[in-house]
Structure 1
Amino acid sequence: MNSHAGDCRDLSPLPECPERDWARRAIALLQGDARRSADTHLVKPVFSGLERISIYLKDESTHPTGSLKHRLARSLVLYGICNGQIMEGTTLVEASSGSTAVSEAYFARLLNLPFIAVMPRSTSRQKISDIEGMGGRCHFVESSGEVYAAAQAIAEETNGHYLDQFTFAERATDWRGNNNIAESIFAQMEHEEHPVPDWVVMSAGTGGTSATLGRYIRYKNLKTRLCVVDVEYSAFFDCYKTGDRNVTCGKGSRIEGIGRPRVEPSFMPNVVDHMIRIPDVASIAAMQVLSSRLFRKVGGSTGTNFFGTCWIASHMREAGREGSLVSIICDSGERYSETYYNNDWLAEQGFDPAPWKAAIEAFLDGGALILPE
């Protein structure tokens, strides 16, 4: 029963609604963060072999929490507050492979709320340290498929709020604008030689960013198309190919932050124009190539994005087309010193990125994109 309900004949004083005072203060703090950090750089690397095709990379690693997930975390917390599900003292709970939880821990600390992240034991040590450094607590499960039920159970036990990025990512973000990532990209592209990109290339974790990009492109009636790049151990590509949202994958993705064992509710295949699936070793190789060309390390999901961008560019160049392509730097590679940048770990996973790196380097310098067998 609503504690503020009253009979129409009741002339007692109207309620003060103190929880609304907290919500207004919390929203003001979130809005302040958005003003300071929402617009990130659009980087334009120069590749000598792509004279007629310009590649742009939206650098989301410059957010205060170091990743693309900073936008999502802020939106999810704001969504919960505006829906009356997050109040003063509410424990926030999330199922996350790392970056989303890092960002949510940041916002929980900003609002002085407890935070618990449920994640696989394989999550990088640096991400765990970042979460704990912001006052969050980590709860570990053995596989990525176990995170959902564990997070829901912890939220119920603590009388908290399960942020549930995999369900609410596509609806917590205002895809029509409000300085979302799509609006920011197209505004920054306005004065470039080819201001309307031929393609935007993005990998999928929750599916929320690809949903925002695809919807915004259609809403603005742009000729731009959206290509989503999936990884080896993920259900998204098979869903796109078959139309079956019930497909699953028995193994967890080795590329942190993207690929899922099930088709997440936020994945919207109908706004995707094309989808490809690439080997994990291609993501690692592309990550290493791009890091060397940018003179700083990027993460594995950025490698997935970059390989997909090169693949699209190779088709454009072969067809004699010119234009622009946009993709995203999801996060910095500094979080993966023990995995993607560790030769022993790569060997344990059976990765030999050398032939893939050679193929990508040759392509960027003007050769054909000839992939290893």
Structure 2
Amino acid sequence: MHDSRQWTREALRIIEADFQRSADTHLIPLELPGLPGVELYFKDESSHPTGSLKHRLARSLFLYTLCNGWLRPGAPVIEASSGSTAISEAYFARLLGLPFIAVVPAGTAREKLAQIAFYGGQTHLVDDPTQIHAESLRLAAASGGHFMDQFTFAERATDWRANNNIAESIFQQMRHERFPEPSWLVSSPGTGGTLATLGRYVRYRQHPTRVLGADAERSVFFDSYVSGERNLTLDCGSRIEGIGRPRVEPSFMPQVLDAMCKVPDALSLAAMHYLAQRLGRRVGGSSGTNLIGALLVAQQMVRQGEQGSVVAILCDSGERYATSYYDNAWLTAQGYDLAPLIQRVAACAEQGQALDHQIPRAGDLR
């Protein structure tokens, strides 16, 4: 028992030291000439050491798991992930000298698999993306390891009141802006944990800020939000890596959200390309989803004569998708024609033209 306690204490010290070596992520303004009075910012989570928003989650999961006594020296850590969480968890596993196995859909971008391997992790590919959870449980039992289960523990591993909290960071960085208290925060759900943190924090701090969840096309989160049903399922995985789920995950907390929308995949990818053009660097598909959500709330604010700020999450770098979302041959093979949709996104941001009115939306976003 004493040796185990000593090992845990040293592991916690290592993770805390790593945290102290890292600066906060940037808040990047994006001008919207067509939507006067609304100032949009992107919280750039791609600048974490492992390149995505999931770095925060992985750190929180390791701290939570260590303090619960669930990890032990030499025992494998297993995670079900479409890539980004696995990359970040592989990083922390390597810090602690633990074997790491990522259970990922077979279609996961090759760049993500290479990054998992770079941090010393193994990948276990699953043809059916709806089975990664069950396969992770099987591997953990067979290896004597621990299944981290981000989809269950994301909402409870992060301290939504303070420590390692993306919401607190946003409000601190917004203090000297023209509209320091955002009218809206926008994020897309993967586990649902980030949305839970944002929604809980604004209530805890008594901010009037509203929270929008921007869901992917092949996902059940939006439908669950509308219907209240938590047993919805799909027989396919999301085409926007890192967000959208074929089942309602335990970390999805619809009660702390003010609105949701469901963004067609093609529009998410078009918005991703538009945002990459505006920023001068590649971003991931989920950032495109979030841009659409941000434009929808910005349009509503303009219609209602409201001025204010909107903060959306830039989840990860687009370099991970060089052979998929940024490859013209891949896009053509998938049946995507993004050019007219990119023009539509540009017309909304720069000229104030309405986005597709058929994008499903619910709650305070109408």
For residue 372 of structure 1, report the CA deviation from its aligned partner: 8.7
For residue 363 of structure 1, report the CA deviation from its aligned partner: 1.7
CA contact (8 A) 2:34 2:352 kept: yes
Give the whole-Å Cα distance in 1 for the aligned partners of 2:315 and 2:80. 19
Partner of 1:67: 52
CA contact (8 A) 1:256 1:301 kept: yes
Give the whole-Å Cα distance in 2 for the aligned partners of 1:39 and 1:343. 34
CA contact (8 A) 1:59 1:328 kept: yes
Query: 1:339-354 maps to which residues of 2 (within 5 A)?
Result: 339-354=324-339
Flag structure 1 segments of 5+ consecutive residues without an equivalent: 5-16
- Partner of 1:44, secondary structure, is strand
* TM-align CA RMSD: 1.2
CA contact (8 A) 1:356 1:371 kept: no
Query: 1:73-84 maps to which residues of 2 (within 5 A)?
Result: 73-84=58-69
Partner of 1:14: none
Give the whole-Å Cα distance in 1 for the aligned partners of 2:71 and 2:277. 43
Give the whole-Å Cα distance in 2 for the aligned partners of 1:171 and 1:202. 18
Partner of 2:273: 288
Which residue, out of 246, 249, 252, partners 1:261? 246
- Partner of 1:365, secondary structure, is helix
Q: TM-score, normalised by structure 1?
A: 0.94
Which residue, out of 88, 106, 122, partners 1:121? 106
Partner of 2:205: 220
For residue 191 of structure 1, report the CA deviation from its aligned partner: 1.4
Flag structure 2 segments of 5+ consecutive residues without an equivalent: 359-366
CA contact (8 A) 1:58 1:328 kept: yes
Partner of 2:35: 50
> What amino acid does structure 1 have at the position aligned with 2:273?
Q
The C-alpha deviation readout for 1:147-169, integer Å capped at 9, x for no partner, is 01110111111111100000000
CA contact (8 A) 2:60 2:164 kept: no
Compare 361-370 and 228-237 and name the one that shifted more.
Answer: 361-370
The C-alpha deviation readout for 1:221-255, integer Å capped at 9, x for no partner, is 11000000111110101110100000111211000
**Identity over the aligned pairs, expressed in percent?**
55
Which residue, out of 161, 174, 182, partners 1:189? 174
> What amino acid does structure 2 have at the position aligned with 1:183?
E
> What amino acid does structure 2 have at the position aligned with 1:326?
V
Give the whole-Å Cα distance in 2 for the aligned partners of 1:310 and 1:186. 20
Give the whole-Å Cα distance in 2 for the aligned partners of 1:71 and 1:200. 18
For residue 370 of structure 1, report the CA deviation from its aligned partner: 4.0
State the number of aligned residues.
358
Q: Does 1:33 align with 2:18?
A: yes
Which residue, out of 286, 299, 308, partners 2:284? 299
CA contact (8 A) 1:316 1:322 kept: yes
Which residue, out of 246, 258, 261, partners 2:231? 246
- Partner of 2:50, secondary structure, is coil
Give the whole-Å Cα distance in 2 for the aligned partners of 1:314 and 1:350. 29
Which residue, out of 97, 113, 120, partners 1:135? 120
Q: Does 1:360 align with 2:337?
A: no
Query: 1:157-168 maps to which residues of 2 (within 5 A)?
Result: 157-168=142-153
Partner of 1:205: 190
Partner of 2:361: none
- Partner of 1:37, secondary structure, is coil
Give the whole-Å Cα distance in 2 for the aligned partners of 1:372 and 1:323. 23
Give the whole-Å Cα distance in 2 for the aligned partners of 1:34 and 1:309. 30
User: Per the alignment, do residues 370 and 259 of structure 1 end up closer, same or farther by CA in structure 2, a change over 3 Å counting?
Assistant: closer
> What amino acid does structure 1 have at the position aligned with 2:245?
R
For residue 38 of structure 1, report the CA deviation from its aligned partner: 5.7
Give the whole-Å Cα distance in 2 for the aligned partners of 1:367 and 1:166. 37
Task: Write out the 4+ residue segments of structure 1 that deviate beyond 6 Å after TM superposition.
Answer: none
- Partner of 1:58, secondary structure, is strand
Compare 202-211 and 347-356 and name the one that shifted more.
Answer: 347-356
Q: TM-score, normalised by structure 2?
A: 0.96
- Partner of 1:93, secondary structure, is strand
For residue 82 of structure 1, report the CA deviation from its aligned partner: 0.4
